[in-house]
Amino acid sequence: MDQVVFHAGHAKICKVEKERVMEMEKLVSLCKRRGFLFQSSEIYGGLNGFWDYGPLGVELKRNIKEAWWRDMVSGHNELVLAEEAPSLFHMVGLDSSIIMHPQVWKCSGHYDLFHDFMVDCKESKKRYRHDQIRGRWVTSRGAEIFVATQVGGEEGDKETEQRALKYFNLRSKQAEELAWNGPLVSLTTVADFSKVLAPEAKTLGTLTAPREFNLMFKTIVGALGGEEDAAFLRPETAQGIFVNFKNVVDSSRVKIPFGIAQVGKSFRNEITPRNFTFRSREFEQMEIEFFCHPADSPKWYQYWRDRRFRWYLQLGLASSRLRLRDHDKDELSHYSCGTADIEYAFPFLPPGEFGELEGIAHRGDFDLRSHMEGKLVRQGEQLVVESDEHGKPRHRGSGKDLKYFNDQTRERFIPHVIEPSAGADRGTLAFLCEAYQEEQVEGETRLVMKFHPRIAPVKAAIFPLVNRDGMPEKAQALYGELKKEFAVFFDDGGAIGRRYRRQDEIGTPVGITIDGQTLQDSTVTWRDRDTLQQKRLPISQVKEELRAFLAPAQS
């Protein structure tokens, strides 16, 4: 079976690292035990980079996607001007196909440019992403070598030291015979591979030169399919929005500025899928393409950057583990005037490292222009259509006019685009990591998933205290009533304390118990998952109370 691989999953790791890895392993085991996440095709040994969401996982992820859709699209009030928004705007949705005309990917640049560089190790037969290997230069016994590792931080230092000692045949107490020539650096800075000790090799120079690897999954359309019928599974949902820009404008009377949102599967043949669902080969994205006038685009970029960051905070990610990182100028794509990533300090990353949850990019007019004119490349300060050796466009655009016409100002222009692009699986993983807590309660360890009530898979559990005296009947009636509106769960099995614990483990925010007093005064016990406080309220008010408890905050 494929292992769930974490960055820090190596044998010799320091105490803090060990605790973090253990924490992550506990979360992975809870996810399997309680039905959040399973390995895809597990009974056949699994398939690396693919995951299945179990009964609770599917609810959690659906709640996250629905919160996103409600907060960004269906609940967006275009008549109310938010304080920080430059003007009123519409938000509409779309669901485009996964397989599209191959020309889409040629013009978008994915066909030529969507690749990572990989290196193979001839000794261990392992394949790595070139930019994910790091290492340190070290000199000993007259030779200088580059000791490579897949991990960063303190753990990377420790691992490279152990491996250098082994390579030079030294014992731990001879560590001073190793002269380190700088800190951990990326393998991309190394020109001479003959001096590299690959992450799982015993001899030098076993890595091949970096080779390009296109991340798009290829497939064949139709029964007669040959190479000319090759198509691709989409690596992002965004292009489906760009190619429908005109359809949406013509059919829905939206006026610029407006946004089109889409949630759907994307596929990338990642070289090294890892860290649970963080880097998968099939995943879901929640993307917005926001179209605006070029002159207003810097303001809208700022708006979406801030609004999307706030959304994660409102749904419960702690500000200490969440950050908004503006890309440096040299990190920006050739067409981008600004990009910021929302990042989370996942527990499987070394301390101080963050993983991307969402990117917010100012994309200028790059996408719409590409689909009009053909694949664009930068020439000095200009974006021009790339030409072949005969001076013809290398990848021809649709030739359609995708400009927007403002009938009030009589201006015709190609809108600029701001793209907040989020991963539903990475978001779900961050919410799972954030929720996981172990607490000491009355001398016992309580495992509790502290999900925000809006995303919790089960909102409330209904318990009859004992299975007699009419309590089960009353509890079932309340369950039936609440079930019409909320995801609630009925449990009459075992001691009440144990039933509470089972619900804590899956993050159910409220427990409602029908007990002896209910029979006398029609009140129930309401137990709060986080504070463990209990209060009594009339059974007739439970529905209203739950509704208020689950209501979304304004976003």
Considering beta carbons, is residue 331 or 411 the nearer one to ligand ATP? Answer: 331
Choice from 272, 285, 428, 508 touching ligand ATP (CB under 6 A): 285
Helices 471-483 and 542-550: crossing angle in degrees, nearest 10, is 40
Choice from 280, 370, 523, 555 touching ligand ATP (CB under 6 A): 280
Stretch of residues binding ligand ATP (CB under 6 A), selected from 243-251, 304-312, 418-426, 457-465: 418-426
* Residue 440, Cβ density class (10 Å: 0-12 exposed, 13-18 middle, ≥19 buried): exposed
CA 166 – CA 175 distance, rounded (Å): 11
By CB under 6 A, tell whether 40 contacts ligand ATP.
no
- What number of chain residues touch ligand ATP (CB under 6 A)? 16
Type of residue at 138: V
By CB under 6 A, tell whether 134 contacts ligand ATP.
no
By CB under 6 A, tell whether 20 contacts ligand ATP.
no
Q: Are 289 and 417 in contact (CB under 8 A)?
A: yes
Residue 553: how many other CB atoms lie within 10 Å: 10
Choice from 358, 373, 504, 515 touching ligand ATP (CB under 6 A): 358
* Residue 330, Cβ density class (10 Å: 0-12 exposed, 13-18 middle, ≥19 buried): exposed
Choice from 91, 249, 357, 514 touching ligand ATP (CB under 6 A): 357
Place of tokens 């702690």: 318
By CB under 6 A, tell whether 268 contacts ligand ATP.
yes
Considering beta carbons, is residue 358 or 504 the nearer one to ligand ATP? Answer: 358
Map the footprint of ligand ATP across residues 314-333, applying CB under 6 A. Answer: none
CA distance readout (Å), 121 to 46, 271, 290, 314 = 24, 14, 44, 45
By CB under 6 A, tell whether 423 contacts ligand ATP.
yes
By CB under 6 A, tell whether 259 contacts ligand ATP.
no
Shortest spacing between CB 49 and ligand ATP, in angstroms: 8
Residue 113 half-sphere exposure, CB side, CA atoms within 13 Å?
13
By CB under 6 A, tell whether 71 contacts ligand ATP.
no
Considering beta carbons, is residue 214 or 421 the nearer one to ligand ATP? Answer: 421
CA 300 – CA 245 distance, rounded (Å): 18
Stretch of residues binding ligand ATP (CB under 6 A), selected from 74-82, 305-313, 423-431, 445-453: 423-431
By CB under 6 A, tell whether 343 contacts ligand ATP.
no
Map the footprint of ligand ATP across residues 207-236, applying CB under 6 A. Answer: 236
Shortest spacing between CB 33 and ligand ATP, in angstroms: 23
Considering beta carbons, is residue 248 or 422 the nearer one to ligand ATP? Answer: 422
By CB under 6 A, tell whether 270 contacts ligand ATP.
yes
Stretch of residues binding ligand ATP (CB under 6 A), selected from 356-364, 377-385, 404-412, 525-533: 356-364
- The three-state DSSP-derived secondary structure of 202-245 is CCECCECCCEEEECCCEEECCCCCCHHHEEEECCCCHHHHHCCH
By CB under 6 A, tell whether 283 contacts ligand ATP.
yes
By CB under 6 A, tell whether 518 contacts ligand ATP.
no
* Residue 132, Cβ density class (10 Å: 0-12 exposed, 13-18 middle, ≥19 buried): buried
By CB under 6 A, tell whether 129 contacts ligand ATP.
no
Shortest spacing between CB 249 and ligand ATP, in angstroms: 25
Nearest residue relative to ligand ATP (C-beta): 423
Stretch of residues binding ligand ATP (CB under 6 A), selected from 142-150, 241-249, 354-362, 465-473: 354-362
Considering beta carbons, is residue 308 or 395 the nearer one to ligand ATP? Answer: 308
Stretch of residues binding ligand ATP (CB under 6 A), selected from 97-105, 393-401, 416-424, 465-473: 416-424
Q: CA-CA-CA-CA torsion for 305, 311, 313, 314, nearest 10 degrees?
A: 150
Q: Are 119 and 130 in contact (CB under 8 A)?
A: yes
3-state secondary structure of 285: strand
Considering beta carbons, is residue 282 or 515 the nearer one to ligand ATP? Answer: 282
Shortest spacing between CB 315 and ligand ATP, in angstroms: 15
Task: Give the DSSP letter string of 447-499.
Answer: EEE---TTT-S--EEEEESSS-TTHHHHHHHHHHHHHTTS-EEE--SS-HHHH
CA 225 – CA 220 distance, rounded (Å): 6
221-251 as b/e: b if 16+ CB within 10 A: eeeeeeeeeebbbbbbbbbbbbbbbbebbee
Q: Are 346 and 278 in contact (CB under 8 A)?
A: yes
Residues 6+ positions from 265 with CB-CB distance below 8 Å: 98, 282, 283, 284, 285
Q: Which of 346, 494, 360, 485 is nearest to 428 (CA)?
A: 346
Considering beta carbons, is residue 30 or 286 the nearer one to ligand ATP? Answer: 286
By CB under 6 A, tell whether 155 contacts ligand ATP.
no
By CB under 6 A, tell whether 356 contacts ligand ATP.
yes
**Which parts of this chain interact with ligand ATP (CB under 6 A)?**
236, 268, 270, 279-280, 283, 285, 356-359, 421-423, 425-426
